Chains A and B, each alone.
Chain A
């Protein structure tokens, strides 16, 4: 049997915050970026944004608890959200691209 080491409480709290709020942030960022970048926005963009957002939520929540390196998990999830938001607001516009 593999050696089992217990994870410190602070790390559990950190991972939980990342798993809950970080994942939600990433999902929101994905939706916002897609609806702003998609040509003409509209229902299709919202569909794609929601489907991508919820899928990323699941992925991020698992990453938050599975990745060995907590800092890397934070960087990927919150950093990913920041990049998506930056692209969405930098290159897209409300209601999609004209």
Chain B
């Protein structure tokens, strides 16, 4: 550390950035993918690729008919309507208190119910918010879809804020420490950086340390507001863990109070539910009140008859609505005549809550229309590259200082960790996507197997980096990642998914978007490998002379 404000902050920036840099890289990498976690999960289940969305009214009818056949006595039904992020129709039920041997169910439906309940147990055992047993339906035909079990985008999403296989609080603390470090690294980085905007337009290619610095600065400045927002809101999201002095509260995605409608006299009837429930009018009414699409319906039922329907918006249309735990607009309707019983909008009650919520909402991006979601994704990529270039810069700086002398054990370790993070994690992720397709769809416990493959490949990349010379390890892992990603677009149609051409022509942008993204990602990795290889040959052909001259100077100096 040296005197002077800029120098001391440069020192701080280097160390705060390095010590938890690899964790930050992993958070940014997986977190960036998590902006598309539903789409990623959808891609990982090729059984769903051919589903086509239908109108909400039609889908709701299909759902009610199915639910009445499968769980006629349930005290609650849930329906997630098709959306642009997931065209399937999800139905679920809460059978608590119902007669398990309901005579009304046909054997086929009872089989479906038992299977769904068993699957729910397995999924809930993996953690996350517990879910009622349910089924996915093709909204157009009402057919039950049986997608393979997958850890999906959900795994990468959960990894980015609590890692994996650690007690919840410990995982959140490690992420929190990295977030603190990131926050400090960003502020000290800004202070260090004298000419923040003029430097943004500077790029000195092929100049070693200077090029890495320019790249690092460009990535940092390009989306500086995003970096500040995502880091500060990340701290807020972990607030109850990092500053546990407020006695609960916090941003937990806790359950919301259920509207109590106990006073309402239970309606009864013999007509089938799909005729009794005014679902068309409920959806139309809700959507016209909000001016936003409906997303979910919860049917509150007594003795097998639906009394009220709780309609929830598809996503938040306002940054100050409660950002977590489901969209923040709900209307409860009388099931039969579609009259509004209760309306709840979880608007922030004051400016403080609004500020807090706006930041958290921007972080989660759940409100975002697809254009904004891509913007967040691109900013996330810039952040990931900023961390990667920063980590490499730390290494390159010390290498240039050493002037060809072998690095210390610490330097070697930093190099290997850099490789394992920057190319190893993408490689592990590509392998994870591959795993979703090559593990047999019927294989028991396949979701955990996907996760095991992810970590095995990641560990393998670290070992590879430890034992291979630096340049070779970078090159080989860049090539492997590039091929790993690009080939996913080929693997997709070969393993039951919809091919890129069909997906594009049918407007299936979830599948097409994934395939195009992995193709671009793969191409970028291969391009990087190409640049690295070209530089290596240039250096090795230019190597002898400078080192000879250096040796000659050394000799000349030592000569008496």
Partners in one complex: yes
CB of B3 within 8 Å of the partner chain = yes
Residues of B within 8 A of A42 (CB): 249
Q: Which of A5, A32, A48, A51 has the most CB of B within 10 A?
A: A51
Closest chain A residue to B235 by CB distance? A54
Checking A31, A46, A55, A57 against B180 with a beta-carbon cut-off of 8 angstroms, the contacting residue is A57
B4 touches A2 (CB 8 A): yes
Checking A35, A43, A49 against B353 with a beta-carbon cut-off of 8 angstroms, the contacting residue is A43
A66 touches B350 (CB 8 A): no
The segment out of B40-48, B181-189, B528-536 that lies at the interface is B181-189
How many residues does chain B have at the interface if contact means C-beta atoms less than 8 Å apart?
32
The segment out of B6-14, B81-89, B487-495 that lies at the interface is B6-14
CB distance from A5 to the nearest CB of B (A): 5
**Cα(A5)–Cα(B12), bound, Å:** 16
**Cα(A32)–Cα(B244), bound, Å:** 10
CB of B355 within 8 Å of the partner chain = yes
Residues of B within 8 A of A12 (CB): 1
Q: Is the interface of B mostly helix, strand, loop or mixed?
A: helix
Residues of B within 8 A of A95 (CB): 247
Residues of A within 8 A of B243 (CB): 27-28, 31, 49-50, 53
How many residues does chain A have at the interface if contact means C-beta atoms less than 8 Å apart?
35
Binary per-residue interface labels of chain A (51-71) against chain B in the complex, 1 for a CB within 8 Å, 0 otherwise: 101110110011001101000
CB of B246 within 8 Å of the partner chain = yes
Residues of B within 8 A of A43 (CB): 249, 353
B180 touches A44 (CB 8 A): no
Binary per-residue interface labels of chain B (228-242) against chain A in the complex, 1 for a CB within 8 Å, 0 otherwise: 000010011001000
With A43-B353, A50-B243 known as contacts, the answer to whether A58 contacts B236 (CB < 8 A) is no
Residues of B within 8 A of A83 (CB): none
B7 touches A4 (CB 8 A): yes
Seen from chain B, the residues whose Cβ lies within 8 Å of a Cβ on chain A are 1-5, 7-9, 11-12, 180, 183-184, 187-188, 191, 232, 235-236, 239, 243, 245-247, 249-250, 349-350, 352-353, 355-356
Knowing that A31-B243, A43-B249, A47-B353 touch, tell me 20 more A-B residue pairs with CB under 8 angstroms.
Answer: A2-B4, A4-B2, A4-B7, A7-B8, A15-B1, A19-B12, A31-B245, A35-B246, A43-B353, A44-B352, A46-B239, A46-B246, A50-B236, A50-B246, A51-B356, A58-B187, A62-B12, A62-B191, A66-B5, A94-B247
